[in-house]
Amino acid sequence: MGRTPSTLRTAGATTLAAAALALAPLATSTAASPSPDSANATAAAECLTPPGNQNAAAKGTRAPDHEPMSAEDVDRVEARTGKLLAQKRTQGYFVPQGALASATIPVYVHVMMSASGAGDVSNAQIAEQISVLNKNFDGKESPHAADTGFTFRLAGIDRFRNDEWHKDRHSTSYRALTRKGGMNALNIWLVDFDYLGIATFPWSGNPFIDGVRVHWNSLPGGGIANYNLGETATHEVGHWLGLYHTFQGGCTTKNDQVADTPAQSSPTNGCPEGRDSCTLPGIDPIHNYMDYSFDSCYNQFTDGQSRRMSDMWVAYRA
């Protein structure tokens, strides 16, 4: 579920295919090299396009940021989720009707620097990113935004100096080697790649690489024009909690499986107020975190998205 500065909110097919592969052994030449300040950074925290494509990033062009999902794939996921929720209910684990699941999610941030230290971010930037997540999922950016019930707590930061990992090479291996916590723990890898971000869905099936990869320069105060307020992480965490893009399925009544996000035919670029790309009711939800708008355009998840994240949490992550 990665996106590129122009299309970064969805993961490329090659990357996604790699995510589905079994863990491959890591060559010794790419072995991890934790920086000397790794342990101290962790304790203290308690710790899109690449530069050459900045123009493309500024234009808001993006690439896919999650595994491809056909209409048949979506139907299979919905059926499986329904069965899992029913099973959880028989086990006595369910959310009463009208209520939402709520959880404080531990967040582990992995800073994948180059050997020379490129891609390092400060503890202050990471703390600000966590604040952005909490503000967004708490519905604090708009009176129309839902309070999802999810909060985020920084559980640790580690830093690695490794040119291959910094460029998101051998990603299946490095994620398996560095990931922390269970399915309820959010792992964020900060890398330098051709996307803004890439995420795994809760049903993706490989707990060893579960989490999101985010371009290090998209954090608050970063250098990617229009995508440096920390909203890339919000978008990718939305995928991690089971949300599709608002343009999933195009101009159909089911589109993203959420009733209160109007259908849209294609991703948004920028912040075009009043855009209406479908003949179905409602204008395009350009302010929704799950579109491809500029960071400054985002301000909400809907009540329907909040309910979906609640269901997905119970089914796959609780």
Q: 2 near 10, Cβ under 8 Å?
A: yes
Amino acid at 12: G
Q: 35 near 318, Cβ under 8 Å?
A: no
Single out the residue of 155, 217, 221, 223 nearest to residue 191, CA to CA.
217
273 is catalytic: no
Q: Which residues of 107-136 are buried (b: 16+ CB within 10 A; e: fewer)?
A: bbbbbbbbeeeebbbebebbbbbbebbeeb
Q: 250 near 239, Cβ under 8 Å?
A: no
Q: 229 near 215, Cβ under 8 Å?
A: no
Cα–Cα dist 291/255, whole Å: 13
From the candidates 72, 141, 236, 273, give the one annotated as an active-site residue. 236
Cα–Cα dist 206/190, whole Å: 20
How many C-beta atoms lie closer than 10 Å to residue 313's C-beta? 24
- Phi and psi at residue 283, to the nearest 5°: -90, 165
Cα–Cα dist 174/30, whole Å: 9
Cα 282 from chain centroid (whole Å): 26
87 CB burial (10 A radius; 0-12, 13-18, 19+): exposed
Active site residues: 236
